């Protein structure tokens, strides 16, 4: 009975947040975009609300958090009670504060990594499709060779060689994920470069970068934007997994993956505190996928 009530309460909260977010977005949107937000599904509005909530946490973490990111404020593993509403970790740091700062660190690093991977992968993929010939073949075979190595093992190998600083973490994961973006961008661009308007632009004497920026990229934006959301989820989970293994974001920086590892002992005693950062990871992943599904549906032109 308790489980059923919890499920019903969760569904009610989902509908409440989704409906409120859809109404707010519809009211705040410019006139030309109002129909888009009026007709958006509840899943997408719920996803946008969750993403906006995470962004606010990340941007205002020093203002919202009750304590400093690495400040020791009490004894180890204090229970949930004021003033430590989510207890403390194994060093006596406030868990609520660590969760809030974890949003800024984990989400911010994942976004920067995904953006870098997309810039590199999409430019190289479109360039290879546009140029063709040996350049396309060499780049594609090199990418195939990199993709044959499991991503997590490849990341662990590179991080072991080059160290585990934040900048190294971003560069390594971006390099691994850029191969996936390259394949998608090249595939999409190959269907565009054979179009008549591309040939007309070539005859007008437009250069390669102008073709990419003005002709190809706008027409490839829908699948690339959807892939950006999915790729963000994979990068976000990869960073959390590496941090859980001890090769990601280093302490005392707050990170949700390492927070699960640091407090895993509490599970033995029936304490759900280690599940809080894991739940934060899962919630953001689901929210981003809701928004990506909505964007893919819009791009497909389907009405139902």
pLDDT in tens, 232-245: 888 888 888 888 87
pLDDT in tens, 88-113: 888 888 888 988 898 888 888 888 99
Whether 80 and 87 have beta carbons less than 8 Å apart is answered as yes
pLDDT for residue 85: 84
pLDDT for residue 107: 85
Q: Which helix (H) or strand (E) holds 139?
A: helix 133-147
Whether 54 and 60 have beta carbons less than 8 Å apart is answered as no
Helix (H, G, I), strand (E, B) or coil at 261: helix
Q: Cα(93)–Cα(91) distance, rounded to whole angstroms?
A: 6
The residue whose two tokens read 């999915």 is 230
Residues of the chain with confidence (pLDDT) below 50:
302
What's the predicted TM-score (pTM) here?
0.83
Q: Cα(49)–Cα(62) distance, rounded to whole angstroms?
A: 21
For residue 168, is it left (φ>0), alpha (ψ between -120 and 50) or beta?
alpha
pLDDT for residue 302: 46
Q: Cα(293)–Cα(285) distance, rounded to whole angstroms?
A: 12
């Amino acid at each position: 009975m308790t489980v059923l009530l919890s499920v019903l309460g969760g569904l009610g909260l989902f509908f409440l947040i989704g409906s409120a977010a859809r109404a707010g977005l519809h009211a705040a949107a410019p006139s030309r975009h109002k129909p888009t937000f009026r007709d958006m599904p509840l899943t997408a509005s719920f996803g946008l609300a969750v993403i906006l909530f995470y962004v606010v946490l990340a941007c205002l973490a020093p203002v919202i958090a009750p304590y400093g990111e690495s400040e020791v404020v009490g004894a180890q593993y204090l229970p949930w009670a004021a003033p430590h509403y989510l207890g403390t970790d194994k060093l006596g740091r406030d868990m609520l504060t660590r969760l809030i700062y974890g949003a800024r660190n984990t989400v911010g690093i994942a976004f920067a990594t995904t953006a870098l991977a997309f810039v590199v992968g999409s430019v190289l993929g479109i360039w290879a499709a546009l140029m063709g010939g040996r350049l396309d073949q060499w780049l594609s075979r090199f990418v195939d060779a990199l993709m044959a190595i499991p991503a997590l093992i490849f990341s662990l190998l590179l991080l072991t060689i080059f160290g585990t600083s934040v900048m190294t973490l971003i560069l390594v994961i971006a390099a691994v994920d850029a191969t996936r973006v390259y394949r998608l961008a090249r595939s999409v661009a190959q269907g565009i470069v054979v179009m008549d308007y591309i040939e007309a632009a070539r005859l007008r004497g437009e250069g390669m970068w102008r073709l990419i920026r003005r002709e190809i990229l706008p027409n490839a934006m829908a699948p690339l934007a959807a892939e950006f959301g999915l790729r963000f989820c994979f990068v976000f989970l990869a960073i959390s997994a590496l941090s859980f293994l001890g090769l990601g974001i280093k302490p005392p920086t707050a990170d949700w993956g390492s927070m699960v590892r640091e407090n895993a002992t509490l599970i033995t005693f029936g304490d759900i505190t280690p599940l809080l950062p894991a739940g934060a990871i899962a919630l953001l992943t689901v929210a981003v996928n809701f928004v990506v599904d909505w964007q893919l549906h819009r791009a497909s032109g389907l009405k139902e």
